[in-house]
Amino acid sequence: MLNTTSTLIAATPASDGASPSVGPEAVPILLEVNGTARTVRAEPRMTLAETLRGPLELTGTKIACNRGACSACTVWLDGLPVCSCMILAIEVGTRRVTTIEGLAKGDTLHPIQQAFIDHDALQCGFCTSGMVMSCAALLERNPVPNTDDVCAAISGHICRCGTYPHVIAATLAAATVHKA
Amino acid sequence: MAKAEDLRTETFPAGIASVGLGTVTRQVPADEPPPLPPNSELAVIGQSFPRPDGRAKVTGAARFTVDITLPGMLYARILRSTMPHAMVRAIDITVAARHPGVRAVLVLASADNPASATVRYIGAPVAAVVAVSISAAEEARELIRVDYQSLPFVVDMDSARAEGAPLVHDEATAPAGHPSGFPAAAGLPLNGNVRGPAIIKRGDVRAGFAQADVVVEGEYSTEVQTHCCMEPHAIVADWKADGLTVFMSTQFTTGVRHELAEQFHLPLSRVRVVVDAMGGGFGSKSSLGNYGRIAVELSRQAGAPVKLFLEREEEQMDAGNRPGTWQHLRIGAKRDGSLTAISLASYGTAGVGVGAGVGANAETLYTCPNFAGAQHDVFINAGPGCAMRGPGNTPGAFGLEQTIDELAERLNIDPLALRERIDPSAVRREERRVGAERIGWQRRHMAGADPGPVKRGLGMAQSLWGANVQINSSCEVRVMRDGAVEVLSSVQDIGTGIGTVLAQTVAEVLGLRPDQITVRIGDTEFPAGPPSYGSRTTASITPPARTAAWRVLQSLFRDAALALNTATDDLFAREGRIMVRDDPSRGLSFQEVAARLRTDCISVVASRSDDYAGFRRRMDDAALAQQDLGGVQFAEVAVDTETGKVRVERVVAVQDCGRPMNPRQIESQVHGGVLMGLSYALYENRILDQHTGRMVNPNLEEYKVAGPRETPAIDVVVIENYQGQSATDAYGIAEPANIATAPAIANAVYNAIGVRIRSLPMTPAAVLAALGKVPLRS
């Protein structure tokens, strides 16, 4: 089973080794988020999800379980989907963070986003940000996925509204557009 | 009721579209719009338009309650009982109150107040802290000292029913029930931990069983299911001298406003409840709740806005759940299948709450002259249950529909053929016909007939759900001089897409596109809307939306008629124009007509009329329509008899909701109902440790819910069923779509392996135990 966090760990060698001891009070943290360098003050214990939603005011990333079990908080680190509740902001280092707010190009939605709207692949919308990020990442690494590929890509996501069939349909349709 | 002279006679389309439509004549109030033609003749209603808030939800811009930050906002955390049953002897908040950043500490289980000193489940609120940050609130929470005197407890329903079991409640503390019977009847006796029975009788079951040629009976049990809304319960309360504003993830802004006004002694006009995007409720966010009261009280005390959202563990322990049930069903029938008697006894537990019945399927789904039901609530030391998607009928159908299948087998009649004989519903007849064709029912073999270790099976089950309507439902439609159109109501969109349907309803009347209508909902500053529960939202709010739009259009017609030198009756609106019926070349654009408005804005507020043929029953703001909602589902499963694993390969769900307003959104709802039912059937189980009373799986990894890997192919078919009952003739879908799934899967599992599984969830261990391959674990 594909677990988004373990994907990250497998793909990214541990960064700089021993970090200096900091905290517990807030420290400045430099992050590259959606193509912009941002310096935030955050306590070292804060997760990336908390930092995005709090000091960075990027509330599109959602926290639903806060322990890596539902993938609602999925963002990209260097293009790979990860659970942002399972990594500290201070651990991110130089890796590029992409959130749901950074997926569209200006007013032009990513094909996955448009396909989600067209196929009604969202209901309450709370899992949607994470789901969109995982499906968009899938298309980046596999432009022609089949149903199994989509299922694997979203297998760590929980949607209580039951959008999975429409998410799968939307992703397959977006792949066609993406390819064209 | 309107006087006779205020009524006019109208002829409505009536019947099932796929069978053939007829008409029905009704007396309707004179100020109601004309009958709405069937969907095949409409431009907008009945089409799958996308959601107006879709873009906001796929870009992360949608604002949920958990996303709201107000200037000067504080954060609250709740200290919860670590004891399943205890008396709080003393509670010391002095250190916590002095902790840096703390603004107020609220004692909820006070040793000084006997009514609140007893905690009855792990997770019950004991105290609450509000501070300048979440971390400060959490640190201070750790500094509260509670001295508990432990009391005997019981967390298992069978033990709670036993003589001498520890008592959870006494007469004074037991929940009272409600005159409506929901969630439980009022005025029932309490014996030990058992409240009830609630008795319903029809005819004489003793005589009925005496007439029976065949009697089948069985015991069925279901486990507790938790709602698992992805957005936690959340509120931002802002108490100010001139009034209270509450942002809340709620299914019912109007109802929460009423609760707040009553509990905090405020006029309704000084309470505002707002919800923009809302991350799922499924019944658990229907009322203010203990966390809501806590946040408001803390905001009042601290003089600042207070945000409180629950963590996942709190969600699992104290945010409601679908009660666990046990039922004994006995059904007698003649050789031809006609039923002679049904008796039902049930015991269920909603923890410290009530409402653990098994609903009304057994009483009402099939024709049977003799019925006797006795349903009981059993108190245990666990978090209170509450409504969850098809409450009562969902566990009820798990027992009833398996018993009916068992009867069919005893009578050597096909399960569909038996239902043809005993189910009076013409809608379900059509649903069975369509569903059987789709699933390929003729492939169904004898139970357990597949050779080899992986055995396939087909099963079906039916559902019954009342067509609820909220009378206290109103809607405003505004047209501005620049041609802008708005529809406004406090009704909230919890993910069902009611906003889309409102835009479609108004657009259809005004001859516009849905994306030309601005939907403003989820705010009690707008006319009072219905709750998003009981599958009643569409039924309640689309008729007044159409009525308001129609009345606004009559006003626009008057202006247009003057300009076009014709009579208002000669005009019609279509494709953005208002035109003369006999000569459509004569007309004005919608914008041109709006520009002629005497004032910047015209507006009409309309409220929900009674159904044109009246209601079956009415209580306070709620009413029950004459015809029920149905639904028939078919499941195809593969059971691995070596591992015990059940895989649902396909579900065909044939549902009805009166007039379907937006087929794709209905499909989404049915997917949700089927998947929640599948998850209930195979995986979900709140596990309480008998020795500590603690939930051992209060998260989303050990509490298993169905994910993408477990999702079968789901065919959704929606029957158009016109009844001529309201301005839109639309009813609900969310709950009926959930009820039949678990029994359809259970009947399919029986067909696969030839052994009936009478307890949920049907885990691999349960399947292997049913096959006699491993001992039964309790």
Query: Where along chain A do its domains lie?
Result: 4-101, 111-179
A98 touches chain B (CB under 8 A): no
What's the CATH number where B140 sits?
A: 3.90.1170.50
- The sheet carrying B324-333 orders its strands as B190-191, B194-202, B371-378, B339-349, B324-333, B214-222
Report the C-alpha gap between B746 and B52 in whole angstroms.
Answer: 39
Report the C-alpha gap between B311 and B309 in whole angstroms.
Answer: 7
Q: Which residues of B615-632 are buried (b: 16+ CB within 10 A; e: fewer)?
A: beeeeebbbbbebbbbbb
Same domain assignment for residues B244 and B266: yes
Contact residues, B window 293-352, toward A, CB-based 8 Å cutoff = 311-312
Same domain assignment for residues B555 and B682: no
Read off the pLDDT of residues A108-142 as tens digits, 9 standing for 90 and up: 999 999 999 999 999 999 999 999 999 999 999 99
Q: Which of the two residues, A25 and B769, has the higher pLDDT score?
A: B769
Split into its structural domains, chain B has a count of 4
Classify residue B583: in a domain, yes or no.
Answer: yes
Burial of B253 (0-12, 13-18, 19+ CB in 10 A): buried
Contact B59 A70 (CB under 8 A): no
Same domain assignment for residues B447 and B488: no
* Identity of the residue in B50, B700, B705 whose CB atom sits nearest the CB atom of A120: B50
Q: What is the pTM of this model?
A: 0.96
Amino acid identity for residue B2 in this structure:
A
Report the C-alpha gap between A22 and A42 in whole angstroms.
Answer: 11
Q: Which residues of B677-707 are buried (b: 16+ CB within 10 A; e: fewer)?
A: bbbbbbbbbbebeeeebbbebbbbeebbbbb
Which whole number is the average pLDDT over B681-693? 97
Report the C-alpha gap between B189 and B230 in whole angstroms.
Answer: 38
Of the CATH numbers 3.40.50.300, 1.10.150.120, 3.40.50.2300, 1.10.3720.10, which one belongs to the domain with range A111-179?
1.10.150.120
Classify residue B21: in a domain, yes or no.
Answer: no
Contact A59 B494 (CB under 8 A): no
Which whole number is the average pLDDT over B159-168? 97
Report the C-alpha gap between B660 and B662 in whole angstroms.
Answer: 6
- Of A165, A167, A162, A87, the closest CA to residue A129 belongs to A167
Residue B413 neighbours by CB under 8 Å, 6+ apart: B337, B421
What's the CATH number where B217 sits?
A: 3.30.365.10
Report the C-alpha gap between B11 and B23 in whole angstroms.
Answer: 6
Report the C-alpha gap between B432 and B429 in whole angstroms.
Answer: 5
Report the C-alpha gap between B767 and B285 in whole angstroms.
Answer: 34
Residue pointed to by tokens 């799986």:
B697
Residue A164 neighbours by CB under 8 Å, 6+ apart: A154, B671, B675, B707, B708, B711
Question: Where is B557: in which H helix or E strand?
Answer: helix B537-564
**What integer pLDDT is reported at residue B134 of this predicted model?**
95
Report the C-alpha gap between A74 and A68 in whole angstroms.
Answer: 9
Pair B244, B272: CB distance under 8 Å: yes
The dihedral built from the CA positions of residue B458, B346, B536 and B309, taken in this order, carries a sign that is negative
- Of B385, B439, B344, the closest CA to residue B632 belongs to B439
Same domain assignment for residues B354 and B503: no
Report the C-alpha gap between B626 and B497 in whole angstroms.
Answer: 25
Residues of B whose CB is below 8 A from A168: 708
Q: Is the pLDDT of residue B11 over 80?
A: yes
**What integer pLDDT is reported at residue A7 of this predicted model?**
42
A162 touches chain B (CB under 8 A): yes
Same domain assignment for residues B717 and B757: yes
Q: Is the pLDDT of residue A179 over 70?
A: no
Give the gap in angstroms from C-alpha B277 to the nearest C-alpha of chain A.
7
Within 13 Å and on the Cβ side, how many CA atoms surround B405? 28
Same domain assignment for residues B689 and B764: yes
Read off the pLDDT of residues B378-389 as tens digits, 9 standing for 90 and up: 999 999 999 999
Which whole number is the average pLDDT over B506-529? 98
Q: Which of B624, B644, B662 is the last residue of a domain?
A: B624
Give the gap in angstroms from C-alpha A56 to the nearest C-alpha of chain B.
12
DSSP character string of A80-96: EEEEGGGSBGGG-TTPE
A134 touches chain B (CB under 8 A): no
Read off the pLDDT of residues B37-56 as tens digits, 9 standing for 90 and up: 999 999 999 999 999 999 99
Same domain assignment for residues B610 and B647: no
A157 touches chain B (CB under 8 A): yes
**What integer pLDDT is reported at residue B551 of this predicted model?**
98
For chain A, what is the mean pLDDT? 90
Residue pointed to by tokens 């679908």:
B322
Burial of B771 (0-12, 13-18, 19+ CB in 10 A): middle
Q: Is the pLDDT of residue A2 over 50?
A: no
* Six-digit token string for B14: 């009536």
- Of B60, B656, B52, the closest CA to residue A99 belongs to B60
Report the C-alpha gap between B551 and B509 in whole angstroms.
Answer: 10
Note the ipTM here.
0.97
Which whole number is the average pLDDT over B435-451? 97
Q: Is residue A14 very low, low, confident or very high in pLDDT (cuts 50, 70, 90)? A: very low
**What integer pLDDT is reported at residue B112 of this predicted model?**
87
- Best probe of the A interface among B230, B647, B680, by most A CBs < 10 A, is B230
Same domain assignment for residues B205 and B294: no
Report the C-alpha gap between B433 and B412 in whole angstroms.
Answer: 20
**What integer pLDDT is reported at residue B778 of this predicted model?**
58
| CATH architecture designation of domain A4-101 | Roll (3.10)
Alpha helices, DSSP H, located in B353-446: 361-364, 393-411, 415-422, 426-439
Residues of A whose CB is below 8 A from B667: 120, 166
Q: Is the pLDDT of residue B723 over 70?
A: yes
B55 touches chain A (CB under 8 A): yes
User: What's chain B's length in residues?
Assistant: 778
Cis amide prior to B52 (ω within 30 degrees)? no
Report the C-alpha gap between B728 and B740 in whole angstroms.
Answer: 26
Residues of B whose CB is below 8 A from A98: none
Residues of B whose CB is below 8 A from A119: 664
Beta strands in B203-270 (DSSP E): 214-222, 234-240, 243-248
Q: Is residue B3 very low, low, confident or very high in pLDDT (cuts 50, 70, 90)? A: low
Report the C-alpha gap between B152 and B160 in whole angstroms.
Answer: 11
Q: Is residue A1 very low, low, confident or very high in pLDDT (cuts 50, 70, 90)? A: very low
Contact A64 B277 (CB under 8 A): no
Where residue B661 falls (left for φ over 0; alpha for ψ -120 to 50; beta otherwise) is alpha
Classify residue B16: in a domain, yes or no.
Answer: no
Within 13 Å and on the Cβ side, how many CA atoms surround B162? 10
**What integer pLDDT is reported at residue A3 of this predicted model?**
40
- Best probe of the B interface among A4, A34, A124, by most B CBs < 10 A, is A124
DSSP B566: S
Classify residue B585: in a domain, yes or no.
Answer: yes
Read off the pLDDT of residues B312-342 as tens digits, 9 standing for 90 and up: 999 999 999 999 999 999 999 999 999 999 9
Residues of B whose CB is below 8 A from A157: 707-708
Which whole number is the average pLDDT over B98-125? 95
Read off the pLDDT of residues B235-258 as tens digits, 9 standing for 90 and up: 999 999 999 999 999 999 999 999
Which whole number is the average pLDDT over B721-749? 97
Q: Which of B402, B417, B437 is the last residue of a domain?
A: B402
Amino acid identity for residue B712 in this structure:
P
Backbone phi and psi for residue A11, each to the nearest 5 degrees, phi listed first: -90, -20
- Best probe of the A interface among B58, B322, B515, B668, by most A CBs < 10 A, is B58
Q: Which residues of B295-320 are buried (b: 16+ CB within 10 A; e: fewer)?
A: bbbbbbebebbbbbbbbbbbbbbbbb
Q: Which of the two residues, A23 and B527, has the higher pLDDT score?
A: B527
Report the C-alpha gap between B227 and B746 in whole angstroms.
Answer: 22
Q: Is the pLDDT of residue A64 over 90?
A: yes
Contact B676 A58 (CB under 8 A): no
Contact B708 A154 (CB under 8 A): yes
A60 touches chain B (CB under 8 A): yes
CA B273-B279-B283 angle, to 5 degrees, is 80
Same domain assignment for residues B253 and B210: no
Contact A109 B676 (CB under 8 A): no
Residues of B whose CB is below 8 A from A145: none
Pair B128, B89: CB distance under 8 Å: no
Same domain assignment for residues B117 and B240: yes
Give the gap in angstroms from C-alpha B516 to the nearest C-alpha of chain A.
17
Contact B59 A157 (CB under 8 A): no
A95 touches chain B (CB under 8 A): no
Which whole number is the average pLDDT over B735-762? 98
Residues of chain B above pLDDT 70, percent: 99
Where residue B719 falls (left for φ over 0; alpha for ψ -120 to 50; beta otherwise) is beta
Which whole number is the average pLDDT over B661-685? 98
Chain A CA closest to residue B703: A69
Chain B CA closest to residue A128: B58
A127 touches chain B (CB under 8 A): yes
Classify residue B179: in a domain, yes or no.
Answer: yes
Contact A63 B66 (CB under 8 A): yes
- Of B147, B56, B59, B135, the closest CA to residue B102 belongs to B135
Pair B336, B408: CB distance under 8 Å: no
Q: Is the pLDDT of residue A177 over 90?
A: no
Contact residues, B window 648-687, toward A, CB-based 8 Å cutoff = 664-665, 667-669, 671-676
Same domain assignment for residues B481 and B592: yes
Q: Is the pLDDT of residue A70 over 70?
A: yes
Range of the domain at B369: 167-227+321-402
**What integer pLDDT is reported at residue A10 of this predicted model?**
38
Backbone phi and psi for residue B261, each to the nearest 5 degrees, phi listed first: -60, -40
Classify residue B778: in a domain, yes or no.
Answer: no
